[in-house]
Structure 1
Amino acid sequence: MSKPKFQTEWEEIDEEYQQLQETHKIYRQKLEELTNLQTTCSSSISKQRKCLKDLRYSLTKCSQKCDEKELKLITDIKSQIKEKGNVFFDMEAYLPKRNGLYLNLVLGNVNVTLLSDQAKFAYKDEYEKFKLYMTIILLFGAITCLFVLNYRVTDEIFNFLLVWYYCTLTIRESVLMSNGSRIKGWWVSHHYVSTFLSGVMLTWPEGPMYQMFRSQFLAFSIYQSFVQFLQYYYQSGCLYRLRTLGERSQLDLTVEGFQSWMWRGLTFLLPFLFFGHFWQLYNSVTLFRLGRRQDCKEWQVFMLALTFLVLFLGNVLTTLKVVHQKVQKNQEKIPKND
């Protein structure tokens, strides 16, 4: 007598279930092995770092009283120590580690390390798309507030969107840095300062001082979004070419500024950037003048003036430093005539 159809189906499902249990058991074992390997690697890196730090200190002391041959050897060892530090950085990008202070405050001690190159690149790609879409939204938002809807509530929505955007960028960038992205220097701090500035704009109450600065700020926001769109379009193309040639990491990002790798083919962006930087200075001067008026009572005016000044100084000094370093490098490459 043949089995009923439902019994055959049940037996097939039960057999697959048993296989699933075995597969999951193997998965759990491999996961435990992976965790043990991660712990071992992290401990070894910490130990190596400590030993190399002690050795570097000893070499520095020795270099003060040694001959030329030993000095050359010490220099070579120091160079290799520096290279090992870079290797450790790349290794740690694939190992769980404690979050920095900012991520701990926002997310808690959650492991944000992505273990595969594919996952890291997918997250970085999603970050870039988020920046592009939000830049376009903010551009149209500023245009709408300036030319169509002259209402306080729409300004508040726009300013809140700016606060949310920059807060989100700082979190996403912190996650990318935990996964090996070499974002550093002023361009990291820039978004924290921008978050603070947007927050102060959000709290600025309606009044004569606000209305005097409103149009200038919205016009600046339009220009800034336009330049950021230009930067994304051209930087992403340049980064793609450099990654293909193996000159840049897969986790390198587009930034709201100028870096050394942008020199070739992207120098046309410099006038746009400098104009935006000096517009920040103009905003600062305008706000300082408003703050000196007798009818100005809002603390936001002076705070915004100071913040725009910080942004101007940070952006201009960093850009000039990059340009100066690149010009010096190019001059060193030019063969000197006897």
Structure 2
Amino acid sequence: MGRVAGRVKAVCTSTAKGTRKEDRGEGVFRPGYGVEGDAHAGPWHRQVSLLAQESVDKMIAKGIKLVPGDFGENLTTEGIDVAHLPVGTRLKVGADVLLEVTQIGKKCHHGCAIYQQVGDCIMPREGIFARVLLGGRVRNGDPILIEEGYRLAIVTASDKGARGEREDTGAQVIRRLVAELGEVVEYKVLPDEREELAAELKRLADERAIDLILTTGGTGLGPRDVTPEATLDVVDQLVPGLPEAMRAAGFAKTPHALLSRAVAGIRGRTLIVNLPGSPRGVEENLSVILPALPHGLAVLTGRAAECGRPAADRQFKAVHSFQGEAE
């Protein structure tokens, strides 16, 4: 889910820090790194810099001749008020690239080449910085979308489903229930194989910037039920309250609920939750934990500044400003 907010006016890079960048017309964005060939690229939080042409126009109105890249920005944008985007905002740029805003403004270095050449530098005041979550190629003129909601994935564990012998009605229920939470951007039906399931969970969390992975199937006592083990193979921390709540609610209806071995845990900034395989079980269990997920995901992904504020479930807040950091 997202809305078109603007477009890319220029893609700029430079081979040295503190200098003007040149409009290259396009650039390759690498996850966790930045723009290939740019001096500011690297494994840190300021991999890509953005500045609105509207901000540059304020300087042009003073009689200064400027072109994209003069303030050291990687992306010169049009139609989007980048200076007022909260930290944590995700921007889809072009067809494939996904950026996450990590910093608003920075410490001004009056001795930098840009300040000396232009007499002022608006980048510290109105520029923003981002890290690359998903890579790809960006070209001048590409649209910029603000992603709304969370990135979700469904993984169904079913031997029959993987062979095309069973309709995946459980996944259909999940899609309906999470519609307001975000967009299901990845969906996979896999056989009940522990290593294969674990590899897919790792891929979604590490390479696809998924916020919430919901699995369905493989949580019972059968010899092929290995989804909890696959999940435990990849998570860094457990979130026991979620499966405990699902089992408690299910036990109020049937003692069979106590036989569920479902687990929930965190890998990086991704929450993984096991659900039953039946459509009824999916609906009953997911409905129990769904009210807690918006706040949990907001905290996990850095979109909630304060756990105790009731509005944190719905409001998009910054958790880090990084302002005042050195270059």
Pairwise same-fold verdict (TM > 0.5): no
By percentage of residues, which structure has more strand?
Answer: 2
By percentage of residues, which structure has more helix?
Answer: 1
Computing the radius of gyration over CA atoms, which structure comes out larger, 1 or 2? 1
- Using structure 2 for the length normalisation, give the TM-score: 0.24
